[in-house]
């Protein structure tokens, strides 16, 4: 047996034990099947007709309504397609590369004289929030407000995942975001992702708002976790920072390896649309099928010595931190750009950057995993 608390604290030994039993097992604490093998995870995420997100139990939809995250088939395409082109790699780099670096430098300007800081909420989170506000055309909204909306929405989703009521703060934050989206569109803001999606004409105001909420908390969560987890992994390896500073390709590899070891989103939920046999498991129509991205990313049949942080791992791009199939993260390229820029800025401008030995931390969380705090020091 495994508990939700164990999966939130340190899931990896428990996932390894479950995977040794079978690549898909029933977990009472989840009330559903848990997929821990990579091949089976890919199979489930590819087959949206059999394993769908479009179910009333899908937690994010309960907070923000239907969106590209909680729909499948033609409706999924209608919600997702208007947002695809602006997130292509070349467009992201051209439109946002300079802005991301400026914001990273601005945040480090404030931190550099201190010699010590908590990097997750004083750097990674504000950077991600500022970039997403820029992307969505919400530049007039204070970053602290954007982060507060995000925190409240994520808390509501987490409460629902634990079988509790969502509370009032998450829905209230979503209403505030929905009003801000309406204001942006009414003001005729040009160039923003929202304005371009609205011009596409396929989504109404409510649908634009629900997708903006998904992009907002997905964009902040993914990027904040990527930066914090990668910094934690890199700074835990003596002598690695100079190597990454000298080799951009190795820095990219380190980010991918960190995503493999500790994906910011540890699981994705699907619901069976029909009775089906899955690696010997008799899954019934309506059953919850939870894909453990954290488990799939440490599948020893794919990644030898899976618990080791290896920046030279040759097949690291097989990691599934951004999911797979029709729900592959639309903002993955932007998240990678932000993480790369953020880490490079930290390594360049905070000499002797190291973890604070007096304030250790580690990733935790059932659904979203990152260190609660990331205390660091540097030479000033």
Q: Which residues of 30-59 are buried (b: 16+ CB within 10 A; e: fewer)?
A: bebbbbbbbebbbbbbeebebbbbbbeebb
| pLDDT recorded at residue 190 | 62
Q: Which residues of 96-123 are buried (b: 16+ CB within 10 A; e: fewer)?
A: beeebbebbeebbeebeeeeebbbbbbb
| pLDDT recorded at residue 277 | 97
How far is 248 from 340, CA to CA, in rounded Å? Answer: 9
Q: How far, CA to CA in Å, does 294 sit from each of 30, 111, 160, 249?
A: 15, 32, 20, 24
Domain that holds residue 367: 4-377
CATH code of residue 339: 1.10.630.10
Rg (CA), the chain: 20
- As averages over each run of 10 residues, the pLDDT of the chain (380 residues) reads 93 96 95 97 98 92 92 96 89 91 97 96 94 85 88 86 86 90 76 78 89 88 94 96 95 98 96 97 97 98 98 98 96 96 97 97 93 95
Tokens 């500073």 correspond to: 245
Beta strand ranges found along 55-169 (DSSP E): 116-118
Q: Of 78, 65, 193, give the one whose Cα is nearest residue 138.
A: 193
Q: Decide if 217 contacts 210 (C-beta within 8 A).
A: no
| pLDDT recorded at residue 12 | 98
Order of strands across the sheet that contains 354-355: 116-118, 375-377, 354-355
Q: How far, CA to CA in Å, does 61 sit from each of 57, 79, 170, 287?
A: 8, 13, 12, 18
Q: Which two tokens stand for residue 155?
A: 């808390």
Number of domains present in the structure of the chain:
1
């Amino acid at each position: 047996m495994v508990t939700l608390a164990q999966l939130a604290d340190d899931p990896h030994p428990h996932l390894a034990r479950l995977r040794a039993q079978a690549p898909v097992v029933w977990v009472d604490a989840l009330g559903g099947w848990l997929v821990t093998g990579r091949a089976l995870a890919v199979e489930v995420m590819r087959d949206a007709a059999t394993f769908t997100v479009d179910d009333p139990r899908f937690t994010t939809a309960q907070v923000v309504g239907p969106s590209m995250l909680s729909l499948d088939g033609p409706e999924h395409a209608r919600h997702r397609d208007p947002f695809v082109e602006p997130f292509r790699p070349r467009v992201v780099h051209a439109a946002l590369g300079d802005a991301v670096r400026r914001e990273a430098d601005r945040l480090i300007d404030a931190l550099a004289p201190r010699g010590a800081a908590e990097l997750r909420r004083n750097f990674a989170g504000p950077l991600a929030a500022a970039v997403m506000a820029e992307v969505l055309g919400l530049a007039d909204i204070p970053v602290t407000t954007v982060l507060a909306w995000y925190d409240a929405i994520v808390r509501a989703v987490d409460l629902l995942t634990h079988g509790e009521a969502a509370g009032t703060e998450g829905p209230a934050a979503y209403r505030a975001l929905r009003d801000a989206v309406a204001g942006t569109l009414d003001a005729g803001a040009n160039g923003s992702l929202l304005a371009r999606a609205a011009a596409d004409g396929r989504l109404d105001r409510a649908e634009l708002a629900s997708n903006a909420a998904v992009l907002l908390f997905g964009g902040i969560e993914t990027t904040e976790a990527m930066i914090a987890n990668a910094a934690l992994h890199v700074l835990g390896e003596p002598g690695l920072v100079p190597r990454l500073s000298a080799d951009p390709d190795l820095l990219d590899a380190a980010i991918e390896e960190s995503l493999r070891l500790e994906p910011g989103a540890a699981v994705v939920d699907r619901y069976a649309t029909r009775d089906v046999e899955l690696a010997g498991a008799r899954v019934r129509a309506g059953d919850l099928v939870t894909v453990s991205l954290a488990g799939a990313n440490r599948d020893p049949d794919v990644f030898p010595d899976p618990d080791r942080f290896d920046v030279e791992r040759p097949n690291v791009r097989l990691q599934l931190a951004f999911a797979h199939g029709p729900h592959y993260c639309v903002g993955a390229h932007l998240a990678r750009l932000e993480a790369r820029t953020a880490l490079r800025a930290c390594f360049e401008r905070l000499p002797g950057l190291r973890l604070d030995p007096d304030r250790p931390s580690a990733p935790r969380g059932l659904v979203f995993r990152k260190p609660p705090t990331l205390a660091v020091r540097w030479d000033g």
